[in-house]
Structure 1
């Protein structure tokens, strides 16, 4: 079974709870073991050790450069597609994460 460990980064760590459920549901449907953790941007340095990919909510896209520098290209970092985030499209966000890990 394929596995992926995703860190979702947002302002307060709460707005992504529904998205987490949708990503995990999409993973289950595709036989992918998903571990998704949502954290506020200020706390992410404490949650990097086992992550495969970091996805930023559109509201914190301005932190992308800072987060890339923090992980020194050891973990792929990207901003979640705005339409996927807005519609809570877990399948599309999961595919975005998988494409970053497989790149």
Structure 2
């Protein structure tokens, strides 16, 4: 099972995005777990669960470089969710990007 974890200020809006992404994954029978967390939990979640992808909400894009520098050695993609996809709560597009980035195995900023 692939773990795709989203982080933002309080995990409020990312919880909605995670739910939409999980719904798409479930509809396509993908072995994916999508969850949302507060950025305050970032270190604990990454070191304990070793997610396959870390997605940052647009509202915390300012921590991208710090997160990439600190956790990039784990080898999972770390990226900021596209603001348009986020604003539209387009779970399908965000899930597709996450899966593509996992397959590529890259860290990249949008």
TM-score, length-scaled by structure 1:
0.90
Which deviates further from its counterpart, 5-14 or 31-40?
31-40
1:39 to 33, 37, 45: 37
How many positions carry a matched residue from both structures? 101
1:17 partnered with 2:15: yes
The answer to which structure has the higher helix fraction is 2
How is 1:41-56 mapped onto 2 (pairs within 5 angstroms)?
41-48=39-46, 49-56=49-56
Question: 5+ residue gaps in structure 2?
Answer: 105-110
The answer for the alignment partner of 1:87 in structure 2 is 88
Deviations 1:39-81 (A, max 9, x none): 1112210001330000000000010001011213322100001
Q: Separation in 1 of the partners of 2:25 and 2:97?
A: 12
Give the drift of 1:87: 0.7
The answer to which structure has the higher strand fraction is 1
The answer for the alignment partner of 1:64 in structure 2 is 64
Question: 5+ residue gaps in structure 1?
Answer: none
